[in-house]
Amino acid sequence: MAQRQPVSEPGAIDAAARILGAGGLVAFPTETVYGLGADATNAAAVAKLYAAKGRPAFNPLIAHVGDSAAAHALARFDADAETLAAAFWPGPLTLVLPKRAGCAVADLATAGLDTVAVRVPAHPIAQALLARLGRPVAAPSANRSGHVSPTTAAHVLADLADRIDLVLDGGPTSVGLESTILAAAGDGVVLLRPGGVPRAAIERVLGRGVSAPREPPGEAPRAPGMLASHYAPRAALRLDAAAVQPGEALLAFGPVLPAGAERAATTLNLSSRGDIVEAAANLFSHLRALDRAGVAAIAVMPIPHAGLGEAINDRLARAAAPRR
């Protein structure tokens, strides 16, 4: 059974680094969502991580490192990658880059690809842990495969308590959505997953447009994480709902509720003041709360697409996709 360790306790980071160094599994907060960490250089630890997640072993993992220098030891950066790293690290951006010869990340963690996904998280607990361990940490979101990503330590334990060694409790995460994933691996910059860094911010830094994810939900994935039904609550979602149907719960956005809102079984508002950043931070915990309330169907109000709205709409489209 996993221990839940408030990071305020002295020695918490040391203990977590010791467990990772010995091949164990530690969940920890990043500014996006909680990650389930394993020593990325230890194939046995990475195998344990896949087993804990119930994740298909072909799905590659993000290698988390403490700074840009550590990322350069793993991967080759072209000019665009350098620009992006300088602008957004530490932060909610993942770069998929060509693996450098002698890259310390275990082949199992990259699913045998010749690219590696790297990220420098900004969260102080993640930073402290990476500094203490001094090795890259492979970390998918700390949920069972197919569930929504955890934004609190309680979410992590609900999914994984009996499968991991420790969760560092750093309170709710601030961004609430996973990192934006960009590939810069020889054919320009491609947006693989919208996330915590809005596309407009990326385009401003690059001085040009970036192509959207190539496969819309429902098509065969190139990156396995693009599976349409990856982010799945139990309840059925109806998107862009202009009215609430009998029996539905309501996932609202903004101060003005749709017709029939008064008959909603339960209502949770992503941001009653219509703030897209607040909505992102609340998305996964509200989906989990509606699942816990046992609702069968959720009407979701239209969410604007600007800024973090692109990533929110992407996750909602996946959550609404038919299950496989």
Binding mask 113-152 for Mg ion (x = CB under 5 A): ----------------------------x-----------
CB 112 within 8 A of CB 198: no
Say which amino acid occupies 113. L
Joined tokens for residue 69? 């220098």
Smallest distance from ligand TXA to CB 295, Å: 25
| Binding flags for ligand TXA, 56-85, as an x/- string (CB under 6 A) | ---xxxx-----------------------
| Residue 138 DSSP SS3 | strand
Angular region, 186: left φ>0, alpha ψ -120 to 50, beta rest? left
60 binds, among Mg ion, ligand TXA, none (CB under 5 to 8 A by kind): ligand TXA
Q: Which residue's CB is nearer to ligand TXA, number 139 or number 299?
A: 139
Asked whether the beta carbons of 138 and 49 are under 8 A apart, the reply is yes
The whole-angstrom separation of Cα 210 and Cα 217 is 19
Which residue in 15, 25, 125, 223 binds ligand TXA (CB under 6 A)?
223
DSSP state of 259: B
The answer to the question of residue 145 lying near ligand TXA (CB under 6 A) is: no
Identified binder of ligand TXA from the candidate list 5, 94, 285, 313, rule CB under 6 A: 94
Q: One-letter amino acid identity for 190?
A: V
Taking the least distance from each CB to ligand TXA, the nearer of 33 and 300 is 33
**Least CB distance to ligand TXA at residue 81 (A):** 13
For the chain, strand residue ranges (E) read 3-6, 26-29, 34-39, 62-64, 93-98, 115-119, 137-138, 166-169, 180-184, 189-193, 236-238, 249-252, 267-269, 297-300
Of 250 and 318, nearer to Mg ion (C-beta) is 318
**Contact footprint for ligand TXA (CB under 6 A):** 30, 32-33, 35, 59-62, 94, 96, 110, 113, 115-117, 119, 139-141, 178-179, 181, 192, 223-225
